[in-house]
Structure 1
Amino acid sequence: MQEFFSIQGLTTLVMLVLLQAVLGFDNLLYISIESKRAPEDQQSWVRRVGIVLAIGLRIVLLLVIMLLIDKVKEPLFKLAIPNPFASEMAAESDPAPAPEPLSPVGAEGPVTSAGKAAHDEHGGDRPGGSSYIFFGDFTLHSLITLFGGAFILYTAVKEVLHLLAVEHIEHGAEGQPTKPVGMVVTMIVIMNLVFSFDSILSAMALTSHFSRGPAFWLMAVAVVASGVLMIYLADTVSEFLKKNRMYEVLGLFVLFIVGVMLLGEGGHLAHLTLFSYHVEPMAKSTFYFTLAVLLAIDIVQAKYRKKLLAQRAHELQDDHV
């Protein structure tokens, strides 16, 4: 434990807690929105129990990933849909016959660097070329990330459509159908684990210079500390969204972007290729910049709406006078 209590260890611990807190923002947003599905008098209890259970399971997940890190990143299966027009596309891109045919990898004769480059440019057999309409080399990590992104995307779209429903407009939150408490807690725990997958891998990168024991305890303490912070903030965030309904729309669109980001990250991990185009992940800086822009737009619109309402009220008062 000497490494744990060293200056380097304590500094790393602070960095890990900050990392977990920053990466846990979208998780906290999901918890606040999902917990509304529980009966109103049990929503706070659902949030706390869901987070506490998730903390325990995240520590178990951390231990499993540390022991099976290579297995998590090993390819599980490949899925490919060949492009039936690949040969025609290659012929159209280079109609003039070459003096000497370029030998693909594994054929007789030496493969020159120019020949390999031309072969790759036309697609060849690699997933990035025109040989495939769809190609994916899936790992457990990529499948979990893709599943999480798709589910969050579905949740965000479903909640936005629910906000636009007539019964929601007429009755507000009271008209919202409820789910069994156990189901809500289960969804909070599952999505908490999905969100924590990448944060655990990032934390492992920060603690790579420590031996396995101190590294595990550093990450476990950071997980518990961030979980306690999440419990403390969960009710505050939920109450804020409840009192400021317009920011609930902002939160749903932030979740939508999180879903897109996770899909892009999962596609990148799976080397996903669609019609010769590689799926590229969204940079975290792009996500936070988009979040800042959305928040700024929402604040400006809220102030402008308040100003318009005050102006109209003043005009109506003048008309009555």
Structure 2
Amino acid sequence: MTDFLAMHFDWFADPTAWVALLTLIVLEVVLGIDNLIFISILTNKLPKEHQQRARTIGIGAALIMRLLLLATISIIVRLTDPVFSLFGHGFSWRDLILIAGGLFLVWKATKEIHHTVDPEDHKDTMMGDAVTMGIGAAIFQILLLDLVFSIDSIITAVGMTDEIAIMYIAVIVAVTVMLVAVNPLSNFIAKNPTIVMLALGFLLMIGMTLIADGMGFHVPKGYIYAAMGFSALVEALNMLARRRKARRSEEKP
């Protein structure tokens, strides 16, 4: 037991390891935002009695998936090795998974944007079908994106540190934050319909970023989250303006 602790927790006395841990926790939480937005939008389409269960299962599955991927770290590292080349670019399994996940996100976000713009024409939207098919269909779709985001998350962790214990702690803390934040975020999206369109725009942008990354065109995450933050700030100002306008209308005799 003493040898095990010495092997996996000898970094406790290293200040740089603590800096790496805190940095990785922040990165994992930020990477989890994409996952949270998707889960919130999808579960809000379910009947009320199924929403909490679907969110818990979705985030629980994200944690399990990340921990299982960490347990097979040697396999995950090899996912970045090219398996074939096309147009001068070597594609790895990670690239293919990111491209598939990006296409799925772009298709799903586009379908839901169409449904939001034209609510009468929603016969072929998977978001609409999720209510009909029930919680099982919603969880299946959440699991698909959990896999994509989990692989990206773990590869980020591997690039940050060599200490497996630091990776486990960062992932567990980040998913715990997701579990705490998912209900407030889902409720906020449900109460503010305009936020839905903004969130769908985020998913569309994230999907395109995943595709670009898989094709070998890396877009720095800082640019993506800066754009999301700016858009959220503009929407917050719009919401504030609408509320003040509504109050003034109520105060008028």
Per the shorter chain, which TM-score range? 0.7 to 0.9
**Shift of residue 142 of structure 1?**
0.4
Are 1:22 and 2:16 matched, yes or no?
Answer: no
Aligned residue number for residue 142 of structure 2: 188
Q: Distance in 2 between matches of 1:255 and 1:137?
A: 26
Which letter maps to 2:100?
Answer: F
Deviation at 1:16, TM superposition (A): 2.0
Q: What TM-score do the two structures reach when normalised by structure 1?
A: 0.67
Could you tell me which of 241, 258, 278 is aligned with 2:189?
A: 241
For the pair shown, the structure with the greater C-alpha radius of gyration is: 1
Q: Does 1:32 align with 2:40?
A: yes
**What is the Cα-based RMSD across aligned positions, in Å?**
2.5
Question: What is the DSSP-based 3-state SS (H/G/I as helix, E as strand, rest coil) of the residue aligned with 1:24?
Answer: helix
Find runs of 4+ consecutive structure 1 residues off by over 3 angstroms. 7-11, 166-169, 303-315
Aligned-partner Cα distance in 1 for 2:233–2:19:
33
Q: CA deviation at 1:59?
A: 0.9
Partners of 1:37 and 1:176 within 8 A in 2 = no
Counterpart CA distance in 2 for 1:223 and 1:177 is 29
Deviations 1:164-194 (A, max 9, x none): 223499xxxxx88603212212221221221
Q: Secondary structure at the match of 1:137?
A: strand
- Percent identity of the aligned residues? 28
Work out which of the residue numbers 151, 154, 160 in structure 1 matches 2:104.
151
More helix as a share of residues: 2
Question: What SS is found at the alignment partner of 2:91?
Answer: strand
2:179 match? 231
Matches within 5 A, 1:84-163: 127=88, 136-163=89-116
Mark the runs of 5 or more structure 2 residues left unpaired by the alignment: 123-127
CA distance in 2, matches of 1:262, 1:11: 28
- CA separation in 2, counterparts of 1:15 and 1:168? 45
Task: Tell whether the 8 Å contact from 2:77 to 2:155 is kept in structure 1 after alignment.
Answer: no
Q: In the alignment, is the contact (CA less than 8 A) between 1:149 and 1:259 conserved in 2?
A: yes
1:58 paired to 2:66: yes
> In 2, Cα distance between the equivalents of 1:165 and 1:304?
26
What residue in structure 1 maps to residue 223 of structure 2?
A: 286
Instruction: Please give the alpha-carbon distance, in whole angstroms, between the structure 1 residues aligned to 2:215 and 2:59.
Output: 28
Deviation string for 1:121-180 (max 9, x for gaps)? xxxxxx3xxxxxxxx4321010011111111111111111111223499xxxxx886032
> Scaled by the length of structure 2, what TM-score is found?
0.84
2:10 is paired with a residue of what secondary structure? Answer: coil
Question: Equivalent residue for 1:133?
Answer: none
1:272 equivalent in structure 2: none
Q: Deviations over 1:43-66 (max 9, x none)?
A: 1111101211221121111222x2
Task: Give the whole-Å Cα distance in 2 for the aligned partners of 1:244 and 1:168.
Answer: 22
**Residue 300 of structure 1, aligned match among 228, 237, 245:** 237
Q: Does the CA contact (< 8 Å) of 1:74 and 1:139 recur in 2?
A: yes
1:196 Cα shift? 2.2
Alignment size in residue pairs:
239
Aligned partners of 1:32 and 1:234 also within 8 Å: yes
1:251 aligns with 2:199: yes
> Secondary structure of the residue that 1:166 maps to in structure 2?
coil
Amino acid at match of 2:200: L
Partners of 1:4 and 1:56 in 2: CA distance: 25
1:202 corresponds to which of 151, 156, 163: 156
Deviation of residue 314 (structure 1)?
A: 7.3
Partner SS for 1:221: helix
CA contact (8 A) 1:63 1:216 kept: no
